[in-house]
Amino acid sequence: MTDTTTLPLDLQVAMRERDEAFYAVDSAQWGRYTASNFTTVQQNGQFMSRTERMGNLQTQKQRPYVPREREQHEQQGDLVITRFFSGGLWVVEVWKRIDGAWATVMTQATKATGSKP
Q: All domains of the chain, ordered by start, with CATH?
A: 4-111 (3.10.450.50)
pLDDT confidence of residue 49 = 95
Please choose, from the candidates 43, 92, 44, 84, the residue with its C-alpha nearest in 3D space to the C-alpha of residue 67: 84
Print pLDDT tens along the chain (117 aa). Answer: 555 558 999 999 999 999 999 999 999 999 999 999 999 999 999 999 999 999 888 888 999 998 999 999 999 999 999 999 998 999 999 999 999 999 999 999 999 886 565
Is pTM beyond 0.85? Reply is: yes
| Identity of residue 89 | L
| Max CA distance (Å), the chain | 40
φ/ψ bin of 82: left (φ > 0), alpha (ψ from -120 to 50), beta (otherwise):
beta
Residue 87: the pLDDT is 85
The pLDDT value given to residue 52? 94
Q: What is the structure's pLDDT at 5? A: 59
DSSP class of residue 117 equals: -
